[in-house]
Amino acid sequence: ANDKGNEIMYDKQGQRLLEMRGITKIFPGVRALNDVDLELNRGEILAIIGENGAGKSTLVKILGGIYYPNTGKIILDGKEVVVDSVQTATNMRIAFVHQ
């Protein structure tokens, strides 16, 4: 049996899936993220690592619709999107797993 969905996935492998450009997040008294860029291509697996307080969770929560960035944009499959809620992220098939 041939799975058409998997064929499409392999055809697009290596193409840009996600871009986060110029993401800044400021909480009262704290600049958690400052002009962060991130790129992810189809077929890649990404791990975000860093020291405590580096902004890893904040970046993921922005992508997941929990927080909204002060500046920056998110591009998914070549289209700029607004991820303004967890439901919106879910509808876009965005999910993440913590350690």
Assigned domain for 96 exists: no
C-beta separation of 58 from 32 below 8 A:
yes
Please answer whether residues 27 and 34 qualify as being in contact, where contact means their C-beta atoms are separated by less than 8 angstroms: no
Which residues, 6 or more positions from 67, have their beta carbon under 8 angstroms from its beta carbon? Answer: 25, 58, 61
- Domain boundaries, position 50: 4-91
Q: Could you give the number of structural domains in the chain? A: 1
Per-residue tens of pLDDT for the chain, all 99 residues: 455 555 555 556 669 999 999 999 999 999 999 999 999 999 998 889 999 999 999 999 999 999 999 999 999 999 999 999 999 999 999 988 776
Residues 59 and 85: their CA atoms lie apart, in Å, by 14
The answer to the question of residue 37 being in a domain is yes
Check: CB of residue 21 under 8 Å from CB of residue 75: yes
